[in-house]
Amino acid sequence: MSATFGNCLKVTIFGESHSTAIGIIVDGLPAGMEIDEGKIAQAMKRRAPNASVASTKRKEPDVPEVLSGYFKGKATGTPLAAVIRNKDMRSQDYERTMEFMRPGHADYTGFIKYHGANDYRGGGHFSGRLTAPLVFAGSIARQLLERENIHVAARIQSIADIIDEGPYPFERISNAESKAFAAVDPEITARMQDRIREAHREGDSVGGTIECAINGFPAGLGNPFFDSVESRLSHIMFSIPAIKGIEFGKGFELTRMRGSEANDIPILKDGRVLFQTNHNGGIGGGITNGMPVIFRVAVRPTPSIAKEQKTVNIETMQEASLRIHGRHDSCIVPRAVEVVKCAAALVAADLWLEVHNG
């Protein structure tokens, strides 16, 4: 298996949900780049569980321990390695049901792929816990981008059937970052939170969509076909557990438009080529066109729910019933906002370094 992503900025993740630690190696940061540890801590906090009903009650401090590649507040230019210790594990919750394939999880595929040798506790290497090191690395990538006046922001667009269509200017999406629940409209936010509480009371879960924007990207980054901007963003997004769909710009709505409506018309403004609309999400032929890169991802409902479900006992090869115990999110969307944002920053920084490295 490969756990490495990126071209100029490479990241390698390791660890399992209940192992001693999880971690990441970041290779390709420019030597001398200043790193603000406070911004990293803020990003880690936004991803971490909180007191809301949507969130798991597993409490991890998620304080990254940097092992190498960082000295006197700056990247040294050598690989930056960091670990995040796992502290609040309850492995016994999984030992009781280790032979039962949890619906919606990677228990069966992991068992087959790794011949039963995989660590199944908390989902092991398949767990959303592995998004913590991604946020660590992505928060550093955001700092690299911000010094070039490139900014990444994201918001909750929907929870279940409660949708905030927007659209919103980048500033309003960015302002959602300071909220515990990163949605824009307060009235719709309240309805979204009610829907999560309703699912929690019923022992169930809900999903939703997250909209992400990259602002300040110059034209000309990326490549056509196999290494397109869409391909690379999609690649890392589908590496985030629970992401099941992605669309750029107007996405599937384009199928209901005519070409005359869907085309982004070029215009001149202050001596620059811009576009009247951004239906294609700031990308043409796999390459950035200077408009904001806009995409949305679909986040499935958390598979770990309190309701009894049918399954298979992999040891006896008999059908069985299972009620999942443990601490789980009723909705992963609020915590996933930071993960999507940081993952997008990793791709954006990689694209930038391909053109400006050295």
Burial group, residue 191, by CB count within 10 angstroms (0-12, 13-18, 19+):
middle
186: CB partners within 8 A, 6+ apart: none
Distance CA(85)–CA(70), nearest Å, equals 19
Distance CA(155)–CA(174), nearest Å, equals 8
258 is in an annotated binding site: no
327 is in an annotated binding site: yes
CB 163 within 8 A of CB 157: yes
CA quadruple 36, 13, 79, 67: dihedral sign: positive
CB 177 within 8 A of CB 153: yes
CB 100 within 8 A of CB 322: yes
Distance CA(326)–CA(304), nearest Å, equals 9
127 is in an annotated binding site: yes
Residues facing residue 287 across a β-bridge: 222, 284
Distance CA(328)–CA(55), nearest Å, equals 7
CB 157 within 8 A of CB 57: no
DSSP H or E stretch at residue 168: none
Report residue 316: phi and psi, to 5°.
-90, -15
Distance CA(48)–CA(284), nearest Å, equals 36
62: CB partners within 8 A, 6+ apart: 44, 45, 47, 48, 84, 132
Distance CA(284)–CA(243), nearest Å, equals 24
285 is in an annotated binding site: yes
Which residues are annotated as part of the binding site for FMN? 125-127, 285, 327
Question: Residues within the annotated binding site?
Answer: 47, 125-127, 285, 327
Residues annotated within the binding site for NADP(+) are 47
